[in-house]
Amino acid sequence: MRFSARKKKILIVIMGLLVILSLNFFQKEVKGFFYSFSAPIQKSLWGAGDRVSDFFEGIFRAENLKKEAEELKLKNQELLAENVSLQNLKKENQILREALEIGLEKDFKLELAEVIGKDIGQDSLLINKGLKNGISEGMPVITQQKTIVGRITEIYENFSRVRLISSKESSFDAEIIERDILGVVKGKGGLKIYLDLIPRQKELKEGDLVTSASLGGIFPQGLLIGLIEKVKQSDVSFYQQAEISPFFNVEEIENVFIILNF
């Protein structure tokens, strides 16, 4: 049997193709064999390709990158703002939890407010709740630790001004439960308060706890005010006075509760 040169070549090509196609039966083994010794070269070529394409991408996409950077900056700012708002919510949540633990919610109907301005010279605070939140004049303002801060004196739509108990215009009834003493807490200005109108025969001691009394109806009974710091007695006066070290620290107050009813 004789083949012409042309037929012979075609036959070789067909045979070659059949041999190659038959390798599919051992595809895993054949490919695995080539991959085993090509892997290091492929790895370095891949790395080089990645670097070179990054370089060219940087050149060709310079304009787009600028735009993208600006968009990302904006996005970043949005996320930062969202993060801050979430942190505020977390803080608010924590304060509410603390208030629940103390049982404030059980005793009073409360509204949480954030301090947005402080006027220490005038002994007042500005909070972010107002008429829209059901706030009205004269409502007591306390901290989550049940410490008296002051009373609402000015109301706006979304804001209110709190007159601190240290204001010269502030005075309300208080008591020292341990000694069964009633008196009046007055503001001295400059964040200072004192207890007045205590009969001379009553014995006062430094460190006595002063709490609010319900007598005047200004504050609910049993709210914390401070500790007696210094007792002042005068020979000419029928009453004695005592300086109080208040529990609230205006510089640290960030959130307060407004007692809506008691």
Partner 1 sequence: MLKKILILILPFYFLVLLQTSFLVHFSISSGWWVGWSPNFILLAVILINFFTPDHSELWWGVGSAFIGGFFLDIFSSSPIGFNVLILVALAFFIKIILKRYVRIPAF
Site of interaction with partner 1 (CB under 8 A):
9, 13, 16-17, 20-21, 23-24, 27, 30-31, 34, 38, 41-43, 45-46, 48-50, 52-53, 56
To the nearest whole angstrom, how small is the minimum distance from the Cβ of residue 58 to partner 1? 13
Q: Are 162 and 140 in contact (CB under 8 A)?
A: no
Q: Which token pair is 114? A: 């954030």
How many Å is the Cα radius of gyration of the chain? Answer: 40
Query: At 192, is the secondary structure helix, strand, or coil?
Result: strand
Q: What is the DSSP letter of 221?
A: T
- Residue 56 or 156: the one with the smaller Cβ distance to partner 1 is 56
To the nearest whole angstrom, how small is the minimum distance from the Cβ of residue 161 to partner 1? 60
- Residue 3 or 46: the one with the smaller Cβ distance to partner 1 is 46
To the nearest whole angstrom, how small is the minimum distance from the Cβ of residue 15 to partner 1? 11
CA atoms lying within 13 Å on the CB side of residue 108: 24
Q: Are 209 and 177 in contact (CB under 8 A)?
A: yes
Q: Which token pair is 27? A: 């595809």
**Nearest CA among 119, 161, 252, 41 for reference residue 151:** 161
- Residue 24 or 261: the one with the smaller Cβ distance to partner 1 is 24
Distance of CA 28 to the CA centre of its chain: 59
To the nearest whole angstrom, how small is the minimum distance from the Cβ of residue 50 to partner 1? 6
CA atoms lying within 13 Å on the CB side of residue 29: 5
To the nearest whole angstrom, how small is the minimum distance from the Cβ of residue 113 to partner 1? 53
- Residue 61 or 200: the one with the smaller Cβ distance to partner 1 is 61
- Residue 16 or 217: the one with the smaller Cβ distance to partner 1 is 16
